[in-house]
Structure 1
Amino acid sequence: MVLGRFYLSCLLLGSLGSMCILFTIYWMQYWRGGFAWNGSIYMFNWHPVLMVAGMVVFYGGASLVYRLPQSWVGPKLPWKLLHAALHLMAFILTVVGLVAVFTFHNHGRTANLYSLHSWLGITTVFLFACQWFLGFAVFLLPWASMWLRSLLKPIHVFFGAAILSLSIASVISGINEKLFFSLKNTTRPYHSLPSEAVFANSTGMLVVAFGLLVLYILLASSWKRPEPGILTDRQPLLHDGE
């Protein structure tokens, strides 16, 4: 029963993550004119897509690697590599997304990093970079002692959840900011809820739902990877039906 709920949650998570990315792509393609890499507004359109894909979907998926029951037995190194690789992919997508928005701003002589959204977003990316490099240095490279890893593990776990929460907040504030800028001079302003506003708000709700489900799976005690030496037949994910 517990195993079934876990994999059902993973299936729902995959569906929500895919919808988050696809909805953002559709928003940028249908209402904002599509994509380019030439410094124009169409270059900006890469920014929301890549940030949602990197900082929310890939980051959230990478955070759950150690919740898979298959990672509980056998060598841990392959799962560490997968965890680090998925986070690296998330970071690469994030950096490209930042390049897109900064290039667009500079091309149009628009100021950078003046809004609350930009402050929150750049802080999140900075924390993510620190988290990844610290995790790589301490938990993947073989030099760190067990006491150091034990000391830093709770901090690593906390910042993992905190960065995901900050990413969601950044996306939500970014959606609002984009709608305010895009619809402020149109015949149907944001407050009248034109179809674009309804669709973008719905995309934001999907992002929130995805993030909350990731946090739920991370915090569910029965779905956590057991500590070394205490993997027993009482682990519900390995022995379903108890």
Structure 2
Amino acid sequence: MMGSAGAFYAAHALCVLLSVVCVLLVAHWNSSYREGFAWDGTAKQFNWHPVLMVVGLVVLYGNAAVVYRVPLTWRASKRPWKLLHAGLLLLALFFSVLGLCAVFDFHNANRIPNLYSLHSWVGILTVGLFAAQWVVGAGTFLLPCSPLTVRTLVKPAHVWLGGAILVLSVVSCISGINEKLFFVLKSSTNGTKPYPQLPPEAVLANSLGVVIIAFALVVLKILSHKSWQRPEPRNEDEGYRQVSVDES
């Protein structure tokens, strides 16, 4: 058990490290190569889109998913960790929606069509599933009046869809990175080398995509490792009653 816990904390430390690298890379890309940030309908407003989507759909979402796996929390009441899980996911959803607002407002201000690319279709699907997952999860697992039979029925789908949304988030982000590079690195007329010549901006953005994939793989490994799953009471109904007694 101690060896398993040590392996978990090593994996979790890698997860946190990759989270920080993701945020630093996407922020550096848009501040240093794409002229920074604003909310004025210009390209600087668009720059909020990749930052907010990576922070929301990938970093916060992935870290929220592994909250239950921390061994030090297993002997404590599950209720506070449920609230932390739901709170982190709600914050991730807020950032994701704000990121969509940034790009839609930018497109409308510059008379650019919305939702014309595969990247945008996958992104909208991902955020839509994320919002539905959060609402159903909050109603099922946070409300005390939710019947145990409903929780038991929903839980497998909730767990599976959680992993699927993370995969879709990665697909959305890396396709968006590639699409952005194709748009901004067309030729030398914009002061940079074209994308096929792999200028420094392309190296940075491609590195961001690789780190995002690595982060998701670590999160999925943590979620799929059976010995890192939080032990549940044999009688789950008694477990819920015990939580209620502990909280009262």
Structure 2 partner of 1:43: 45
Provide the aligned C-alpha RMSD in A: 1.0
Quick one: distance in 1 between partners of 2:187 and 2:115?
Answer: 23
Quick one: distance in 2 between partners of 1:119 and 1:144?
Answer: 34
Quick one: distance in 1 between partners of 2:207 and 2:223?
Answer: 24
Q: Equivalent of 2:27, from 6, 25, 28?
A: 25
In the TM superposition, residue 66 of structure 1 has moved relative to its aligned partner by: 0.8
In structure 1, runs of 5+ residues without a counterpart are 231-242
In the TM superposition, residue 145 of structure 1 has moved relative to its aligned partner by: 1.0
Moved more, 14-23 or 181-190: 181-190
Quick one: distance in 2 between partners of 1:75 and 1:5?
Answer: 24
**Deviations 1:72-101, CA, capped at 9 Å, x for gaps:** 223211111001000001011111111111
- Where does 1:78-157 land on structure 2 (aligned, <5 Å)? 78-157=80-159
**Deviations 1:128-175, CA, capped at 9 Å, x for gaps:** 000000000000011211111011100000000000000000000000
Structure 2 partner of 1:158: 160
Runs ≥4 residues deviating over 6 A: none
- Where does 1:175-214 land on structure 2 (aligned, <5 Å)? 175-186=177-188, 188-214=193-219
Q: TM-score, normalised on structure 2?
A: 0.91
Structure with more of its chain in helix, by fraction: 2
In the TM superposition, residue 106 of structure 1 has moved relative to its aligned partner by: 0.5
Structure 2 partner of 1:238: none
Equivalent residue letter for 1:127: L
Quick one: distance in 2 between partners of 1:93 and 1:8?
Answer: 28
Give me the identity figure in percent: 55
Q: Equivalent of 1:216, from 199, 212, 221?
A: 221
In the TM superposition, residue 71 of structure 1 has moved relative to its aligned partner by: 2.8
In structure 2, runs of 5+ residues without a counterpart are 236-248
In the TM superposition, residue 3 of structure 1 has moved relative to its aligned partner by: 1.3
Quick one: distance in 1 between partners of 2:26 and 2:78?
Answer: 35
Quick one: distance in 2 between partners of 1:76 and 1:179?
Answer: 44
Question: Number of residue pairs matched?
Answer: 230
**Deviations 1:102-141, CA, capped at 9 Å, x for gaps:** 1110010000001000000000000000000000000001
Equivalent residue letter for 1:134: V
Equivalent residue letter for 1:101: V
Moved more, 32-41 or 186-195: 186-195
